[in-house]
Chain A
Amino acid sequence: AYAVPVLPDNTEEENAEFAQEYLRKLYNLTSSSGSNFRRRGNEMTEKLKEMQKFFGLQVTGTLDSSTLGVMKKSRCGVPDVAH
């Protein structure tokens, strides 16, 4: 068993959707349903790196368990001021 915090048994897909929503709300990830799959993937990687850097996590650009663990912690929201 790994040490990292035990996360609810969400499927990989659910975790990816959760992460996308988190990055969309907090890191201005543009909508995840865009046409260009590669561009979307690159943007997701960059936003993940931005979040990982802020929290002092290993900057991998991939959704590892440490990163998901931090995303699942209760926190302050950031209102959409632009709108």
Chain B
Amino acid sequence: YSTFPGALKWKKNSLTYRIENYTPDMPQADVEKAIEKAFAVWTKVTPLKIAQIYSGTADIMISFVTGVHGDNSPFDGPGGFLAHAFAPSDGIGGDTHFDEDETFTSGSAGYNLFLVAAHEFGHALGLGHSNDPGALMYPIYSYVNPGTFSLSQDDIQGIQYLYGPNSNAPNDPVPDAPKTPNACDPNLSLNAVTTLRGEMMFFKDRFFWRKSPYVANVEQYTITSFWPELPDNIDAAYESRERDLVYLFKGNQVWALFGYDIQQGYPQSIQKFGLPAGINKIDAALYDENAGKVLIFVGNKYYSYDEARRRIDKGYPKSIESSFPGIGGKVDAAVEDNGLMYFFSGSRMFEYNIMSKRVIRVLATNYFLGC
């Protein structure tokens, strides 16, 4: 997290806000509710009390404006900058402006007003931007379901650095607050791994790391900052070299990516892969370029899927242990790269040689993540 120079903060714990005008994008009552919820995100974890007033000058004046609007920081039309807010101080301090050229909503379309407002009020209370991609105070917008939204530990540590905890619930939210997965956590386990046109992607919770062969470090993003339609905590992923598509699995659904674009007509049912009716979730998948088959891992068994014939090969399922001795019988994720298979299980990654049919190295799950 970061604060403003001098750790600017309000000298009082009781603040006021006033909504000067309303966006026509949403019913006025929904705007009121989004703004109220956005303040509650911060008052829940601090001693702050923030009340709405309907006339006069409030500490935090809220307005919807476009382009040049008198503060020497003009907005830029649709996209780009969505809003901005001033750090705590008298006068314009705390004031929050939303770019009316954006489309604000209560849902996932356009920009969710609650999410944008909660971020801006972080600034209005004294927080700067965070470089933690899982933090609310990360500068780039990414949609999360407001119903399940919670501040990250990074956000809470930042705001409590300025104002301390909520005296009524001193420590409740911090232990539960989600932490952004750390690539260098020796106990890191993964949800799914796939290649994508020469890159590798490692999925964990609502994040993914992207590793390009030309670049030493990995980049971490929230899944929804690239694909708002995709769920978090995906189960499996593989790249079909024939079709130049990446398939992403969660539960009994599958999505397809063409490059970084979501294919139309998805999600579809995983039954399209000809799996037995009782299977509602897979653990991992990889594309065996050598055999031109997709290996689909479910529990301690796996299936071989023939993409050309669009069906599961005869004689499957087989037990993982019998075909891939030494990888431990069940996998979290799997990927084939440069003729080797990599099986991820908990904090270990098994490098498997398809030709000699044996594990050649046991490495840490974060081996590729540049720690």
Contact = CB atoms under 8 A, between A and B. Distances in A.
Interface of A: 1-6, 25, 54-58, 66, 70, 73-81, 83
Residue of B99, B116, B212 with highest tally of chain A CB at under 10 A = B212
Interface of B: 71-73, 75-76, 79-87, 97, 99, 102, 111, 116, 119-120, 123, 129, 131, 133, 139-141, 196-199, 212, 215-217, 219-220, 225-226, 244, 259-261
A contact face: mostly helix, strand, loop, or mixed: loop
A78 to B, nearest CB: 6
A77 B72 contact: no
A6 B259 contact: yes
B52 to A, nearest CB: 23
A81 B97 CA distance: 14
A1 B199 CA distance: 12
B197 A75 contact: no
Contacts of B217: 56-58
A79 B129 CA distance: 13
Contacts of A4: 199, 212, 260
Contact of A79 (B84, B116, B199): B84
Contact of A80 (B73, B83, B129): B73
B86 A57 contact: no
14 contacts: A1-B259, A25-B81, A54-B129, A56-B133, A70-B140, A73-B225, A74-B102, A77-B82, A77-B83, A78-B73, A78-B84, A79-B72, A79-B86, A81-B87
Contacts of B198: 2-3
